[in-house]
Amino acid sequence: MKYEGLDLLNNHFFNKGTAFTKEERKENHIEGLLPPFVQTLDQQVEQAYENYSKKATFLDKRMYLMDLFNENVTLFYKLFSEHVNEFMPVVYDPTIADTIENYSHFFLDPQNAVYLSIDDQDELEASLKNATKGRDIKLIVVTDGEGILGIGDWGVQGVDISVGKLMVYTAAAGVDPKSVLPVVLDVGTNNKELLADDLYMGNHHQRVTGDKYYAFVDKFVQTAENLFPDMYLHFEDFGRSNAANILNKYKDDILTFNDDIQGTGIITLAGILGALNISKQKLTDQVYLSFGAGTAGAGITKRIFDAMVEEGLSEEEAKKHFYLVDKQGLLFDDTEGLTPEQKPFTRQRSEFANADELTNLEAVVKAVHPTIMVGTSTQPGTFTEPIIKEMAAHTERPIIFPLSNPTKLAEAKAEDLLKWTDGKALIATGIPVDPIEYNGVTYNIGQANNALVYPGLGLGSLAVNAKVLSDGMINKAAHSLGGIVDATQPGAAVLPPVSKLDKFSITVAEGVAQQAIDEKLTSATDAKKAVEDAKWEPKY
């Protein structure tokens, strides 16, 4: 489609603003609609960064960047690519949590998202077409807003997580921004605050559940799949009772991915492998404790379990290495309210003399002596000093990952974990943490956030148009992040730094694409070239 005049200036995909040359201005009938001086993209970047830097808070910075995105996508991504480390917490987690909580009050622009309401299902196909006219959609991020990060149910306001994750796909891996679509499924909300708010922009009723809910999700998936047959469908922040059901329903038939289950599994395995590389220990010797065994906790557990089996343990042997702790305490086979994903990793009461006392984390840590503890509980401050000291008393280099997001929900602060373990803990957090000085050593803290892998995983799968996302491809992504950090340096991080996100996303993409080729899930033959060809760059 060719745009000209104001339509061109108002189209954020094609707008170049002051960088339109004299000739382009004439040809497209925009002469006189811009100040006379023709700028380069680099000059525009310099000017935008100056403005950005003057904004005092992360929230103001984010709003400025969203305005810029709505004006000129190329400039936005060029700027983003030059300041990845600085922009990630602004465009994405944790600032995105603030914009989600206040979405209806901040609202200015729908940012190309599609809002699909369970009450207007006959509009679903038209809505997807309206949003994508003339665009070939390859990547959708969809949420139903029920389990946003650890902050819970935010209904239609959750759309910002779809928008933000897609921005990271482009900034990190170069997925063409014209080929992406953020989607929210509005099935209602159980958030009382939103239901009582006249300005709330979503459906003012309780969540629809059960068959009607799944039928709506299916209608969306089938319609999107028909309209965009080559799409990679990324599910984000669905509730605990639906996320795994939806993934299991579609994963063997279409190219689909659940970030909280699979993406988090990959990045946590990568972080653990990084930690073991530093401590020179074996995965199969570890005792793993998952604190909070919901969507992410169970997804990670399964990934680490699979890795232990791959390293030679029988399934029966491998299971003995895992302990899940949720609201009920240690999960036993007779615990009430177990999810299907928790059941394979429960323990038997007969294993413990004091089984009935294992109802809190401290008691469990005392009883099982974990060497790895991963927090996905949404419960801030729950990795307390006594618990961490108890853990560290029984293992030389405790691996401790407080992964709950956003910042206010983390199970512990990295700084405290270092202090309580006298610098021995091998740490990764969900949100970014600045390097920490402790006893004369600078400790770099790895960020175990799925944003470090989902962009490369998506680009690699899309580049070769893989039929499905296989376990092998997922496994490959986890192993692609090794070797980037120099593990011999004192204070080395367990994962590569976000500042290199664009580089290692391509490493992940190439590994994943090659795996798809090896598994015959694509007709492509050259992974490197496919990834290179698929990569979009922000330039005019």
Ligand X SMILES: NC(=O)c1ccc[n+]([C@@H]2O[C@H](COP(=O)([O-])OP(=O)(O)OC[C@H]3O[C@@H](n4cnc5c(N)ncnc54)[C@H](O)[C@@H]3O)[C@@H](O)[C@H]2O)c1
Ligand Y SMILES: O=C(O)C[C@H](O)C(=O)O
Residues that bind ligand X (CB under 6 A): 147, 149-150, 240, 260, 264, 267, 291-297, 325-327, 376-379, 403-405, 409, 430, 448-450
Pairing verdict, β 446-447 and 180-186: unpaired
Of 16, 165, 251, 413, which one is the catalytic site residue?
165
Nearest-approach distance from CB 96 to ligand Y, in angstroms: 7
Q: Return the sign of the alpha-carbon dihedral for residues 417, 422, 426, 431.
A: positive
Closest separation in Å from C-beta 267 to ligand X: 6
Phi, psi of 256 (to 5 degrees): -135, 160
Tell me, what amino acid is at 388?
A: I
Peptide bond into 406 cis (omega under 30): yes
Say if residues 76 and 19 touch (Cβ distance below 8 Å).
no
H or E element at residue 441: strand 441-443
- Is the Cβ of residue 306 or residue 326 nearer to ligand X in the bound state? 326
Residue nearest ligand X, Cβ-based: 294
Nearer Cβ to ligand X, position 293 or 509?
293
Q: How many CA atoms lie within 13 A of 473 on its CB side?
A: 35
Q: How far is the CB of 521 from Mn ion (least distance, A)?
A: 25
Scanning the structure block, which residue is given the tokens 């730094």?
A: 497
Distance CA 111, CA 73 (A): 11
Minimum separation from the CB atom of position 237 to ligand Y (A): 6
405 labelled binding-site residue: yes
User: By three-state DSSP, how is residue 9 classified?
Assistant: helix
Q: Closest distance between ligand Y and the C-beta of residue 265, in Å?
A: 12
Q: C-alpha 487: how far from its chain's center?
A: 25
Q: Is residue 153 involved in binding Mn ion (CB under 5 A)?
A: no
- DSSP assignment string, 399-428: EEEE--SSGGG-SS-HHHHHHHTTT--EEE
Verify binding: residue 93, ligand Y, rule CB under 6 A. yes
Binding string, residues 501-530; x marks residues near ligand Y by CB under 6 A: ------------------------------
- Distances 220 to 125, 174, 215, 262 between C-alpha atoms, Å: 8, 26, 9, 21
Q: Which does 470 bind (CB under 5 to 8 A by kind): ligand X, ligand Y, Mn ion, none?
A: none
Q: Which of 449, 465, 514, 515 binds ligand Y (CB under 6 A)?
A: 449
Q: Is 236 annotated as a binding residue?
A: yes
State the nearest-atom distance from the C-beta of 526 to ligand Y, in Å.
32
Nearer to ligand X, 137 or 403 (CB): 403
Compute how many other C-beta atoms are within 10 angstroms of the C-beta atom of residue 159: 28
Binding mask 256-275 for Mn ion (x = CB under 5 A): ----x---------------
Site string for ligand Y, 215-254 (x = CB under 6 A): ----------------------x-----------------
Query: If contact means CB under 5 to 8 A according to the sort of partner, which of ligand Y, ligand X, Mn ion, none does residue 409 touch?
Result: ligand X
As a whole number of angstroms, the distance between CA 338 and CA 139 comes to: 33
Q: Which residue, among 385, 370, 387, 393, has the nearest Cα to 420 in the 3D structure?
A: 385
Q: Confirm or reject binding of residue 146 to Mn ion (CB under 5 A).
A: no
Residue 293 interacts with, from Mn ion, ligand Y, ligand X, none (CB under 5-8 Å by kind):
ligand X
CA distance 331 to 321: 14
Q: CA 297 to CA 302: how far, in whole Å? A: 9
The CA-to-CA distance between both ends of the chain, in Å, stands at: 17
119 assigned to a ligand binding site: no
| 326: partner contacted, choices ligand X, Mn ion, ligand Y, none (Cβ within 5-8 A by kind) | ligand X
Residue 494 contacts residue 485 (beta carbons within 8 Å): yes
Q: How far is the CB of 373 from ligand X (least distance, A)?
A: 12
Element (H, E) at 386: helix 385-392
- Distance between CA atoms of 492 and 510, rounded to whole angstroms? 25
Decide if 500 is catalytic: no
71 a known binding residue?
no
Q: Considering only residues 424-443, where is the footprint of ligand Y by CB under 6 A?
A: 430
Q: Which of ligand X, ligand Y, Mn ion, none lies near 297, with the C-beta cut-off 5 to 8 A by kind?
A: ligand X
- Report phi then psi at 331, rounded to 5: -85, 120
Q: 225 labelled as ligand-binding?
A: no
Per-residue binder mask for ligand Y (CB under 6 A), 158-197, x = binder? ----------------------------------------
Nearest by Cα to 188 from 198, 180, 174, 200: 200
Question: Residue 467 catalytic?
Answer: no
Sign of the alpha-carbon torsion through 373, 377, 378, 380: negative
Which one among 176, 186, 260, 411 touches ligand Y, defined by CB under 6 A? 260
Query: How many C-beta neighbours within 10 Å does residue 282 have?
Result: 11
Please identify which residue in 160, 259, 502, 510 interacts with ligand Y, judged by CB under 6 A.
Answer: 259
Least distance from Mn ion to the Cβ atom of residue 259, Å: 5
By a kind-dependent CB cut-off of 5 to 8 A, residue 407 interacts, out of Mn ion, ligand X, ligand Y, none, with: none
92, 250, 288, 443: the active-site residue = 92
In Å, the largest CA–CA distance within the chain is 84
Helix (H) or strand (E) segment spanning residue 171: helix 159-173
Q: How far apart are CA 473 and CA 480, in angstroms?
A: 10
CB of 240 to ligand Y, least distance (A): 12
Taking CB under 6 A as the criterion, which residues in 313-372 touch ligand Y? none
Compare residues 342 and 522 and give the one whose CB is closer to ligand X: 342
Catalytically annotated residues: 92, 165
**Binding region:** 236-237, 260, 405, 449
Residues that bind ligand Y (CB under 6 A): 93, 149, 237, 259-260, 405, 430, 449-450
Binding residues for a divalent metal cation: 236-237, 260
